[in-house]
């Protein structure tokens, strides 16, 4: 996919040099996958937030996007992406489109990204951004993410961008049996841990990748 990202380059704190500094920070924090770093460098994060806070877009911080939701820290986006890219997925499901930033990063790395958002305002807003940039491989749905997207399954990878108490069975059932991987924040004893679950037929491998903080995974639509 060929997209001219230069037309989205800003000035000052939203310039290309700001993205270079972001990539340098990601490297210093342990992100090693060159394709992930290239995608993070390419995607103009400032267009996913309101213009009033665009100057903070390349800081390693979460920022408000409306409806009590946030755009995740760039480091978390890079980390979750790097975890699934070890398995070279082609078809990825994202639960919680939010601003659309995570899906955009993924779009440069995989064949197809399917993303679900339960808040209609965010669903419509992110869809407009995808169209503005020119992505052709991101497919959006306004629905309850807990039930996934059965019609498009199985998925090579699933990324959940909200904190779950338990991983919904529906998502595990839609994960590929051939080394499918799901990454999600999971709450335990009042803390959220970034967990990956690899599925190989009836065998599951779980791994913890540190403590994180996400908005909760909710049911229904709004």
- 17 pLDDT more than 70: yes
- 175 pLDDT more than 90: yes
Residue 164 within a domain: yes
Residue 14 within a domain: no
Burial class (CB in 10 A: 0-12, 13-18, 19+), 66: middle
Residue 94 within a domain: yes
Mean pLDDT score, 151-166: 97
Residue 56 within a domain: no
Residue 152 within a domain: yes
Q: Give the count of domains, the chain.
A: 1
Domain assignment of residue 195, given as a range: 61-212
CATH number assigned to the domain comprising residue 168: 3.40.50.150
* pLDDT tens sequence across 40-59: 999 999 999 999 999 999 99
Mean pLDDT score, 121-127: 98
Q: Tokens in use for 73?
A: 């820290």
**Pair 10, 46: CB distance under 8 Å:** yes
Residue 41 within a domain: no
Q: What percent of the chain has pLDDT over 70?
A: 100
CA distances from 73 to 25, 152, 212 (A): 12, 28, 10
- 202 pLDDT more than 90: no
**Pair 14, 46: CB distance under 8 Å:** yes
Contacts of 102 (CB under 8 A, 6+ apart): 72, 77, 80, 81, 94, 159, 161
Residue 10 within a domain: no
Residue 83 within a domain: yes
Beta bridge partners of 163: 216
126 in active site: no
Q: Given the residues 2, 17, 18, 72, select the one marked as catalytic.
A: 72
């Amino acid at each position: 996919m060929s997209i001219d990202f230069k037309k989205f380059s800003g000035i000052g704190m939203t310039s290309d040099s700001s993205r270079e500094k972001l990539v340098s920070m990601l490297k210093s924090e342990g992100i090693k996958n060159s394709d992930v770093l290239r995608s993070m460098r390419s995607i103009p994060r400032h267009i996913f937030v309101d213009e009033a806070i665009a100057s903070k877009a390349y800081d390693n911080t979460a920022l408000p996007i409306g409806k009590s939701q946030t755009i995740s820290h760039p480091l978390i986006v890079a980390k979750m992406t790097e975890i699934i890219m070890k398995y070279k997925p082609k078809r990825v499901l994202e639960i919680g489109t939010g601003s659309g930033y995570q899906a955009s990063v993924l779009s440069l790395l995989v064949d197809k990204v399917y993303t679900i958002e339960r808040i209609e305002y965010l669903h419509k807003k992110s869809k407009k951004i995808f169209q503005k940039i020119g992505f052709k491989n991101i497919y959006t749905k306004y629905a309850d993410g807990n039930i996934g997207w059965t019609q498009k399954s199985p998925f090579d990878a699933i990324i959940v961008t909200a904190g779950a108490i338990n991983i919904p069975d529906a998502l595990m059932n839609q994960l590929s049996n051939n080394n499918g991987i799901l990454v999600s924040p999971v709450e335990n004893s009042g803390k959220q841990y970034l967990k990956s679950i690899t599925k190989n037929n009836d065998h599951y491998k779980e791994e913890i990748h540190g403590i994180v903080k996400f908005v909760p995974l909710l049911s229904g639509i709004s």
